[in-house]
Amino acid sequence: MPWKRSGRWWRHAVTDASAVRRAFAPAALDAIERAIAAGERRHAGQVVFAVEPALPLSRVLARVTPRDRALEVFGLSRVWDTERNNGVLIYLLLADRDVEIVADRGIAGAADAAGWQAICEAMEARFREGRYEAGVVSGIEAVAALLARTFPRGEGAVDELPNRPLIL
Which range (6-10, 31-35, 147-151, 153-157) has the least confidence? 153-157
Number of folded domains that form the chain: 1
Give me the percent of the chain exceeding a pLDDT of 90. 74
Are the CB atoms for 43 and 148 separated by under 8 Å?
A: yes
Please enumerate in sequence order all residues whose Cβ is within 8 A of that of 62, keeping only pairs 6 or more positions apart, or say none. none
CATH code, 11:
3.10.310.50
Which DSSP state fits 44? S
Please enumerate in sequence order all residues whose Cβ is within 8 A of that of 152, keeping only pairs 6 or more positions apart, or say none. 42, 43, 44
Domain of residue 100 covers 2-167
Average pLDDT over residues 90-118: 90
Q: pLDDT digits over 44-101, tens only?
A: 889 999 999 999 999 998 999 999 999 999 999 999 888 888 899 999 999 999 999 9
Predicted local distance difference test score (pLDDT) of residue 59 = 93
Half-sphere exposure of 58 (CA within 13 A, CB side): 0
Q: How confident is the model at residue 15 (pLDDT cuts 50, 70, 90)?
A: very high
Half-sphere exposure of 162 (CA within 13 A, CB side): 10
